[in-house]
């Protein structure tokens, strides 16, 4: 039995933690700033010679694991794990419990996030064994993952195909052997999420473009660009749409709280391009639909090697003008307006912006396979599935 103290962000409520040793492997819970930096920088070892991986900003990654740009701390207990084999760092994992979702859905599930590991299954197994034990002690019966840290829209699932393409901003990339590791450990498919590819030059079908002015007039709605000067008002409208549009039967989502919407606004404003984000409202001002899209900043981040300074800022300023791809994160419409042209109207406004910015391609992601309505809409607009991200589940034993 190894005794260690955890003193950052109250990540775990227990101070007595068993070491997991498998073939000279030791699992350590991160408890200081050095451990945090080791956790954040470890992926550089996994992807050293991979031409497709995009290094995240180290400063942003530190905010993620500290819960500064998400609700990691507020959602429930979590811990960050580092795996050492013969004293060499070989893997990392975040394991936690989303009490907000569990309470809303009557679950007893823990999640895995931010998994990275060298190509050595014994290291992976040691991490998963520790996570299994950690969650079991806290009364959980199932593990789901990999997921984003609570409130995040990245790190969701494992990429199971199309490994020879750069990931879009805030989306997943991983080695193929991660899939083998999860399945070897006994994880089974829970749901797949899809990335849809759209060619901007192909454009939405002409009949969609023709019907948009007619639908807007007939059903009495307009489409407004987000107003960053009045972001609190617009985010309140987005929250109202999510409250009405998010189906109760969706197993993995609950509408965001006011605090989560405030955090979303804080994260969105610095990177938002206003004419890529629209809110549809009735003529009376009722919000009925919205989208969020973002330039593929990965095209710039790839050359920055995770650093803003000393030269990263200049690379960003010069590189962002060359971005020619865009990611469409979400597009929600309230139920009573879903067949009244709102989706088409928002997308046509976006498409005009895509062309103004010189984008060649758009990725609509990630869309859960059970979101049939959204899949149908994007397929009508010409989207085709390009990548699949698999989320796994396993009983805790």
Determine the average pLDDT of the residues in 170-177. Answer: 96
- Domain finish residue from 155, 173, 208: 155
Residue bearing the bigger pLDDT, 319 or 376 = 376
pLDDT value for 91:
98
Give the CA radius of gyration of the chain. 22
Residues in the chain: 397
pLDDT(7) > 50: no
Cα distance between the two ends of the chain: 20
- How far is the C-alpha of 106 from the C-alpha of 209, rounded, in Å? 44
Whether 177 is in a domain gets the answer: no
Whether 193 is in a domain gets the answer: no
- Decide if 36 contacts 65 (C-beta within 8 A): yes
Cα distances (angstroms) measured from residue 218 to each of 69, 94, 106, 151, 285:
41, 50, 42, 37, 16
The residues, ordered by sequence, that sit 6+ positions from 359 with a Cβ below 8 Å of its Cβ are: 200, 295, 323, 324, 325, 326
One domain for residues 121 and 260: no
One domain for residues 382 and 260: yes
pLDDT value for 312:
57
Cα distances (angstroms) measured from residue 371 to each of 188, 245, 343, 367:
20, 12, 14, 7
The residues, ordered by sequence, that sit 6+ positions from 21 with a Cβ below 8 Å of its Cβ are: 126
Whether 174 is in a domain gets the answer: no
Whether 307 is in a domain gets the answer: yes
Residue bearing the bigger pLDDT, 255 or 91 = 91
Range(s) of the domain holding residue 358: 198-388
One domain for residues 43 and 112: yes
One domain for residues 145 and 213: no
Model confidence pLDDT, tens digit, residues 108-152: 999 999 999 999 999 999 999 999 999 999 999 999 999 999 876
- Decide if 334 contacts 173 (C-beta within 8 A): no
pLDDT value for 280:
98
Residue 347: which CATH number?
3.40.630.30
pLDDT value for 205:
86
- Decide if 271 contacts 304 (C-beta within 8 A): no
pLDDT value for 5:
34
- Domain finish residue from 128, 155, 182: 155
* Token duo for residue 241: 């749409």
pLDDT(268) > 60: yes
- Domain finish residue from 155, 186, 209: 155
One domain for residues 241 and 94: no
> What is the domain count for the chain?
2
pLDDT value for 153:
67
pLDDT(362) > 70: yes
What does the CA dihedral 195, 180, 35, 297 come to, rounded to 10 degrees? Answer: -20
pLDDT(2) > 70: no
- Decide if 198 contacts 347 (C-beta within 8 A): no
Report which of 27, 141, 139, 142 is spatially closest to residue 94, judged by C-alpha positions.
Answer: 27
* Token duo for residue 336: 């009573």
One domain for residues 282 and 346: yes
- How far is the C-alpha of 234 from the C-alpha of 287, rounded, in Å? 9
pLDDT value for 309:
62
One domain for residues 219 and 126: no
One domain for residues 21 and 116: yes
Helix residue ranges per DSSP H, 5-149 = 33-41, 43-46, 58-65, 72-75, 99-105, 121-137
Model confidence pLDDT, tens digit, residues 46-72: 999 999 999 999 999 999 999 998 889
Model confidence pLDDT, tens digit, residues 26-47: 999 999 999 999 999 999 999 9
Whether 311 is in a domain gets the answer: yes
Whether 88 is in a domain gets the answer: yes
pLDDT value for 22:
65
One domain for residues 116 and 242: no
One domain for residues 343 and 288: yes
One domain for residues 107 and 51: yes
What average pLDDT does the structure give for the chain? Answer: 90
* Token duo for residue 358: 């010189």
One domain for residues 327 and 248: yes
Pick the range with the lowest mean pLDDT from 14-23, 88-97, 325-334: 14-23
SS3 of residue 90 by DSSP: strand
- How far is the C-alpha of 226 from the C-alpha of 77, rounded, in Å? 35
């Amino acid at each position: 039995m190894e005794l260690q103290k955890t003193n950052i962000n109250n990540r775990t409520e227990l101070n007595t933690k068993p070491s997991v040793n498998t073939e000279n492997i030791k699992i350590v819970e991160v408890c200081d700033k050095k451990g945090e930096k080791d956790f954040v920088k470890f992926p550089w070892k996994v992807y050293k010679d991979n031409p497709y991986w995009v290094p995240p900003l180290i400063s942003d990654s530190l905010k993620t694991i500290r819960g500064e740009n998400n609700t990691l701390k507020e959602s429930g207990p979590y811990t960050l794990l580092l795996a050492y084999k013969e004293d060499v760092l070989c893997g990392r994992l975040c394991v936690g419990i989303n009490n907000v979702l569990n309470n809303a859905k009557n679950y007893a599930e823990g999640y895995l996030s931010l998994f990275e590991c060298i190509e050595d299954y014994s290291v992976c197994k040691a991490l998963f064994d520790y996570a299994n034990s950690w969650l079991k002690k806290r009364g959980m019966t199932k593990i789901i993952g990999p997921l984003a840290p609570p409130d995040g829209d990245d790190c969701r699932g494992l990429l199971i195909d199309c490994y020879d393409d750069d990931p879009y901003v805030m989306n997943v990339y991983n080695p193929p052997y991660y899939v083998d590791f999860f399945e070897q450990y006994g994880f089974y498919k829970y749901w797949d999420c899809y990335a849809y590819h759209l060619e901007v030059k192909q454009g939405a079908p002409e009949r969609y473009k023709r019907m948009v002015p007619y639908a807007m007039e007939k059903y009495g709605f307009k489409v407004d660009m987000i107003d960053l000067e009045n972001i609190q008002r617009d985010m309140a409208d987005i929250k109202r749409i999510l409250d009405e549009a998010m189906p109760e039967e969706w197993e993995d989502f609950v509408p965001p709280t006011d605090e989560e919407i405030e955090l979303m606004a804080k994260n969105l404003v610095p990177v938002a391009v206003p004419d890529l984000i629209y809110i549809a409202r009735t003529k009376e001002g009722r919000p009925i639909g919205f989208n969020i899209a973002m330039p593929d900043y990965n095209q710039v981040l790839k050359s920055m090697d995770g650093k803003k300074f000393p030269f990263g800022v200049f690379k960003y300023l010069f590189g962002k003008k060359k971005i020619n791809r865009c990611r469409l994160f979400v597009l929600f419409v309230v139920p009573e307006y879903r067949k009244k042209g709102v989706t088409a109207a928002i997308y046509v406004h976006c498409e005009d912006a895509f062309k103004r910015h010189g984008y060649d391609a758009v990725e609509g992601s990630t869309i859960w396979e059970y979101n049939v309505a959204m899949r149908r809409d994007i397929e009508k607009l010409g989207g085709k599935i390009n990548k699949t991200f698999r989320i796994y589940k396993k009983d805790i034993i």
